[in-house]
């Protein structure tokens, strides 16, 4: 196996932190034991937890105004995989990469899978792209894709999604994530009902091509690029479409794709209640689909989402198998550093949700003791769980201080010598 960062460097960095970590872990273990929690069991759950990283997040993002590349940025899927391997090697939380097509197109997917495996990585959900035109493409997506009024355009979008499934099979994926930007900018531009009819008919053709063990994850988004109406605009349209398509169709919740102030944790509980919670695109947002780093704006919301996920896992109803992915745009940071920090934030929220005294919470809920129900959540949220994550990491060969170790490795400087420079231009959506 190829390790991008040397084990010796990680071990040296860890040696400087180990005594302090043991002290902190022991102290936290004592504190948690007083409330009947075995810290090692929480640590074991963290050791078994993972979140996929997006191939497109490995490069510097940008806005529609500008992109500011950094030296050493990856320029193709091979270099992106290397950077993703660094994130996983240090964090031990991100063993899978979610690819996007045609952005990550190569000629040999079997070889790509082997290349990833050699770096200690597998592939997560494949993402199709029918929101941009590609050079040489027969039909334009200017009129939409799966919902376009143009039959040949819909057929092209269906074909692209089926090709993504085929690529995904070769990569070892079992989920196809479908986000369409289809929608309108003017009242009257399209008929709401007929647009959805066209989407459903085309999406059902994609659905029919899914292998038995695959899922189709429908990702809704309220607006952008369409600013008046979007075909799959919210979780309501998403779950209705998923119910119409069949049991393999589930809903994917991108945290930045909702109306401001929407109660996302309640949406999570609702989707789970009806067996339709398929997965997440984690990121954070202040205004819209900002794609900011997970937990950087509203870590409490992220905790509340994980609180619902822990509840859902305890009450599986029709199963519980959500895919966890990061979907961020790193405009002003080194993407590796952002994803290290984000994976940590996501893992911390999961750990905190595991600390909630569920018996106390449920008893308070039954007794209508509002304050004590809230305090059950508050107590868990207030715990600094960093030593649990660090301990799980170091036991799995990762770094105690992921960012300091990454900087000590001088990875980006070294890559700046080897990789060709990225061109200027607008970023991704
Ligand atoms: C759309 C989205 C979707 C795309 C990704 C690049 O805003 O969240 O998941 O595939 O961004
Ligand atoms: Mn997304
Ligand atoms: Mn988005």
Please give the pLDDT value at position 317.
Answer: 86
Q: pLDDT digit string (tens) for 63-97?
A: 999 999 999 999 999 999 999 999 999 999 999 99
Pocket test for ligand 1, best of 252, 327, 427 (most atoms within 8 A of CB): 327
Ligand in nearest proximity to the CA of 180? 1
Spatial distance between the Cα atoms of 56 and 101, rounded to a whole number of angstroms: 10
**What is the ipTM for the molecules in this complex?**
0.99
User: Do 68 and 130 contact (CB within 8 A), yes or no?
Assistant: no
Q: For ligand 1, atom 5, which residue shows the shortest CA distance?
A: 429
Please give the pLDDT value at position 422.
Answer: 83
Nearest-10 Cα torsion for 288, 219, 279, 314: 90
Question: Low-confidence residues of the chain, pLDDT below 70?
Answer: 424-429
Top CATH class of 7-418 equals alpha beta
The model carries a pTM of 0.97
User: Do 360 and 376 contact (CB within 8 A), yes or no?
Assistant: yes
Q: From the CA of 407, how far away is ligand 3's center (Å)?
A: 29
Spatial distance between the Cα atoms of 309 and 329, rounded to a whole number of angstroms: 25
Q: For ligand 1, atom 1, which residue shows the shortest CA distance?
A: 429
Q: In this structure, what token pair is assigned to residue 347?
A: 């893992």
Q: pLDDT digit string (tens) for 294-311?
A: 999 999 999 999 999 999
Question: Within 10 Å of residue 363's Cβ, how many Cβ atoms?
Answer: 14
Ligand 1 contact via 127 beta carbon (within 6 Å): yes
Please give the pLDDT value at position 424.
Answer: 61
Q: How many CA atoms lie within 13 A of 309 on its CB side?
A: 26
Q: pLDDT digit string (tens) for 366-379?
A: 999 999 999 999 99
Please give the pLDDT value at position 425.
Answer: 55
């Amino acid at each position: 196996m190829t390790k991008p960062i040397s084990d010796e460097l990680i071990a040296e960095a860890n040696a400087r932190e180990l005594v302090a970590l043991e002290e902190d872990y022991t102290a936290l273990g004592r504190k948690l034991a007083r409330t009947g929690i075995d810290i090692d069991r929480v640590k074991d759950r963290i050791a078994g937890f993972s979140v996929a990283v997006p191939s497109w997040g490995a490069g510097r993002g940008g806005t529609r105004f500008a992109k500011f590349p950094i030296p050493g940025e990856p320029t193709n899927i091979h270099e992106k995989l290397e950077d993703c391997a660094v994130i996983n090697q240090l964090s031990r939380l991100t063993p899978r990469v979610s690819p996007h097509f045609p952005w990550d197109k190569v000629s040999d997917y079997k070889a790509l899978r082997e290349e990833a495996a050699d770096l200690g990585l597998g592939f997560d959900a494949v993402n199709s792209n029918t929101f941009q035109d590609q050079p040489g493409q027969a039909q334009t997506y200017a009129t939409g894709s799966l919902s376009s009024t143009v039959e040949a355009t819909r057929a092209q979008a269906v074909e692209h999604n089926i090709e993504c499934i085929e690529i995904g099979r070769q990569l070892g994926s079992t989920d196809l994530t479908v986000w369409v930007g289809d929608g309108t900018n003017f009242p009257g531009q399209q008929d709401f009902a007929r647009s959805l009819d066209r989407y459903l008919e085309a999406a059902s053709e994609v659905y029919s091509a899914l292998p038995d063990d695959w899922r189709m994850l429908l990702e809704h988004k309220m607006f952008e690029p369409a600013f008046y109406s979007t075909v799959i605009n919210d979780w309501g349209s998403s779950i209705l479409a998923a119910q119409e398509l069949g049991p393999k169709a589930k809903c994917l919740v991108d945290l930045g794709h909702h109306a401001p102030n929407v109660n996302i944790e309640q949406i999570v509980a609702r989707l789970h209640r009806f067996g339709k919670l398929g997965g997440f695109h984690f990121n954070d947002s202040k205004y819209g689909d900002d794609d900011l780093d997970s937990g950087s704006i509203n870590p409490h919301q992220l905790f509340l989402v994980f609180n619902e996920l822990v509840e859902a896992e305890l009450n599986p109803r029709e199963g519980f198998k959500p895919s966890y992915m990061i979907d961020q745009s790193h405009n002003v940071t080194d993407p590796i550093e952002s994803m290290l920090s984000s994976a940590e934030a996501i893992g911390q929220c999961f750990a905190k949700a595991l600390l909630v005294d569920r018996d106390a919470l449920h008893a308070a809920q039954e007794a209508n003791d509002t304050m004590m129900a809230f305090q059950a959540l508050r107590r868990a949220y207030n715990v600094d769980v960093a030593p649990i994550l660090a301990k799980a990491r170091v036991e799995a060969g990762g770094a105690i201080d992921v960012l300091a170790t990454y900087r000590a490795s001088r990875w980006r400087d070294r890559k700046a010598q080897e990789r060709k420079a990225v061109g200027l231009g607008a970023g991704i959506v």
